[in-house]
C-alpha cells in the first residue's frame, strides 16, 4: 500500500496551477493540511483573518483540509508520526517568517527520513533567478521590470487529479479558530465587496479583462471608477497564481487585436511591482522594520498618539484622505492612488513613523502583504528602494481636484459632504462659516505649514 503524503498548504489556497499539489498527487494519497502558525509568522491582522476564514472554507468544499494550529515544524512532525506520511510537499515561501518555517521543517525532517519537496508558484520567478548582470539583487524597479519581461514565466498548469488518504487525521474546525469578528462585527460590510476563494479570483480576473483592462492605463488613478483589478487579496492567499494572471492577460490582449495593449501592459507592470516588493523583502529582510536607505535611520519622526488616532478615525479634515480611510474601514481595501495620498499625509504632514501606518494597514487591509506593505510605505516615506523623494509631498486638495474632480469618491465615503458643491468638496473649510458641514472637522494641519516643516526636517537630516 502506498504511503500517504502531506500536502502543506500555505499562501497557495487553490487547486489549479499548483505545482506542489500536482507533484504530491503523483506520489501518493494526500493528507492536505493548513497550519495556522502565528508563532513563526507575523500574527494576522483582523481583516486578513476574515479573508482567511472564507478562503479556507471555500477550498475545503473541494479538497477537505486538516486544520491544525501551532508552530509549523512541530505540527508537521506530529502529523507525520500520526499518519506514517513519507513526504511533505509544499509551495516555497519568501517572507522572513516563511523562510524560518522551512528551515525548522528541514532541521527535523532530514534526520528522520521524511522527504521534503518544495515547489514554486507563489511568484512569477524565484528571487535568485532575476538578478543584475553582476548577480546582485535589483534595487531599482525599471531594470528589474525589463529583466522580468525578458524571461516570461512558465505557462500555468491545469488542475491535477488526486486521491485522498483514508482515513484522514483529526483536525480543528474553522469555528474553533475564531477568525471572524463577533462583537462588534466591524467586517459586516466586507461580504458585499468580496468573494474569497479560487472561484472568486477567477471571476474577478475574467470581469477585469472583459470590462476594464482596455481603459486601465487611463482610469486606474481615478478612485471613483471601478477600473482596478482588485485581485490583490486573491493573489496574497494564492487563490490565483501570478502565472495564471500573466497568461490570461496576454491571451486577452492577443484576442483584442491591440485594443488592450496599453491597459494590459500597464496592468502587467503593476503585477511586476508586486514581484519587485517580494524580491526586495527576500534579499533584504530588514525591510519590514528598518529603513532601506540608511540615512533615514535617525530621522526624527514624531510620536503623536492623538494625531495618529485622528488619522485612523478619518478625522483629518482633508476629504480625500478621510474618504480613503473610511473606505478602508468599511471594505477592507483602499484605492491605490488614495493609499499613496493617505500614507504621504501620515508621514509628511503629521511626521508619524511609516511603521505606524504599516501596522494600521496590516490590521485593516484584506490584502495585507508583508512585502508590498513595507516596500510601499517606505517608498512613500522616501526611505525605500527606488523611492519617491522625500520632498514629493502630496497636496490632498490638489490630488482630489485632479483625480476626483466631481467629488464622487469623496461623497460616496463621506456622505456628510454630499451637499457640498464641487468647487469646495475637497476643501470645505473654504466655504463661508455658516455653510460649512456641521459634522465634518476642520483640517488638523495646514498643508503649507506641514509641508514646510517636513522639508526643513529633511534638510536638517
Catalytic residue positions, numbered: 270, 273, 301, 336, 354, 377
Q: CB of 330 within 8 A of CB of 412?
A: no
Alpha carbon distance 377, 384 (integer Å):
8
Question: Which SS3 state, helix, strand or coil, does residue 5 take?
Answer: strand
Whole-Å CA distances, 72 to 28, 68, 102, 285? 22, 9, 9, 20
Alpha carbon distance 190, 48 (integer Å):
11
Beta strands in 115-216 (DSSP E): 115-119
Sign of the four-CA dihedral 254, 258, 263, 268? positive
Task: Enter the C-alpha cell of residue 61.
Answer: 468544499
Starting at the earlier edge strand, list the strands of the sheet with 87-91: 66-69, 30-36, 5-9, 87-91, 115-119
Chain centroid to Cα 57, Å, comes to 20
Burial class (CB in 10 A: 0-12, 13-18, 19+), 74: middle
Alpha carbon distance 348, 377 (integer Å):
12
Instruction: Report phi then psi at 281, rounded to 5.
Output: -65, -40
- In the DSSP assignment, the letter for residue 391 is T
Q: CB of 388 within 8 A of CB of 380?
A: yes
Closest CA to 169 of 97, 82, 241: 82
Task: Enter the C-alpha cell of residue 251.
Answer: 491571451
Residue length of the chain: 461
Q: CB of 52 within 8 A of CB of 237?
A: yes
Chain centroid to Cα 74, Å, comes to 28
Chain centroid to Cα 286, Å, comes to 18
Amino acid at each position: 500500500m502506498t504511503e500517504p503524503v502531506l500536502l502543506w498548504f500555505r499562501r497557495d489556497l487553490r487547486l489549479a496551477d499548483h505545482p506542489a499539489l500536482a507533484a504530491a498527487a503523483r506520489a501518493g494519497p494526500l493528507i492536505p493540511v493548513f497550519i495556522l502558525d502565528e508563532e513563526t509568522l507575523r500574527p494576522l491582522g483582523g481583516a486578513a483573518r476574515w479573508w482567511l476564514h472564507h478562503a479556507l472554507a471555500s477550498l475545503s468544499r473541494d479538497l477537505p483540509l486538516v486544520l491544525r494550529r501551532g508552530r509549523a515544524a512541530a505540527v508537521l512532525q506530529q502529523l507525520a508520526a500520526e499518519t506514517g506520511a513519507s513526504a511533505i510537499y509544499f509551495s516555497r515561501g519568501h517572507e522572513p517568517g516563511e523562510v524560518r518555517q522551512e528551515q525548522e521543517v528541514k532541521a527535523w525532517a532530514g534526520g528522520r527520513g521524511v522527504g521534503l519537496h518544495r515547489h514554486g508558484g507563489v511568484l512569477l520567478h524565484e528571487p535568485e533567478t532575476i538578478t543584475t548582470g553582476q548577480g546582485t539583487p535589483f534595487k531599482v524597479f525599471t531594470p528589474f521590470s525589463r529583466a522580468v519581461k525578458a524571461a516570461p514565466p512558465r505557462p500555468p498548469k491545469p488542475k491535477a487529479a488526486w486521491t485522498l488518504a483514508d482515513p484522514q487525521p483529526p483536525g480543528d474546525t474553522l469555528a474553533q479558530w475564531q477568525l471572524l469578528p463577533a462583537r462588534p462585527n466591524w467586517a459586516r460590510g466586507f461580504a458585499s465587496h468580496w468573494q474569497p476563494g479560487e472561484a472568486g479570483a477567477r471571476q474577478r480576473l475574467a470581469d477585469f479583462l472583459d470590462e476594464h483592462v482596455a481603459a486601465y492605463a487611463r482610469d486606474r488613478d481615478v478612485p471613483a471608477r471601478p477600473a482596478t483589478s482588485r485581485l490583490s487579496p486573491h493573489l496574497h492567499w494564492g487563490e490565483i497564481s501570478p502565472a495564471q494572471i500573466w497568461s490570461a492577460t496576454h491571451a486577452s490582449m492577443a484576442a483584442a487585436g491591440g485594443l488592450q495593449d496599453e491597459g494590459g501592459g500597464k496592468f502587467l507592470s503593476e503585477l511586476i511591482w508586486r514581484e519587485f516588493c517580494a524580491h526586495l523583502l527576500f534579499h533584504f529582510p530588514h525591510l519590514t522594520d528598518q529603513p532601506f536607505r540608511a540615512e533615514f535611520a535617525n530621522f526624527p519622526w514624531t510620536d503623536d498618539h492623538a494625531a495618529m488616532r485622528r488619522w485612523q478615525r478619518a478625522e483629518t479634515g482633508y476629504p480625500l484622505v478621510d474618504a480613503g480611510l473610511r473606505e478602508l474601514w468599511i471594505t477592507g481595501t483602499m484605492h491605490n492612488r488614495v493609499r499613496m495620498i493617505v500614507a504621504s499625509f501620515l508621514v509628511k504632514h503629521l511626521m508619524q513613523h511609516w511603521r505606524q501606518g504599516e501596522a494600521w494597514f496590516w490590521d485593516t487591509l484584506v490584502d495585507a502583504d508583508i512585502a508590498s506593505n513595507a516596500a510601499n510605505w517606505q517608498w512613500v516615506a522616501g526611505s525605500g528602494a527606488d523611492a519617491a523623494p522625500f520632498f514629493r509631498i502630496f497636496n490632498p486638495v490638489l490630488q482630489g481636484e485632479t483625480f476626483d474632480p466631481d467629488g464622487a469618491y469623496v461623497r460616496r465615503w463621506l456622505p456628510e459632504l454630499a451637499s457640498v458643491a464641487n468647487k469646495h468638496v475637497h476643501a470645505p473649510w473654504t466655504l463661508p462659516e455658516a455653510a460649512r458641514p456641521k459634522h465634518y472637522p476642520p483640517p488638523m494641519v495646514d498643508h503649507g505649514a506641514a509641508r514646510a516643516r517636513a522639508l526643513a526636517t529633511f534638510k536638517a537630516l
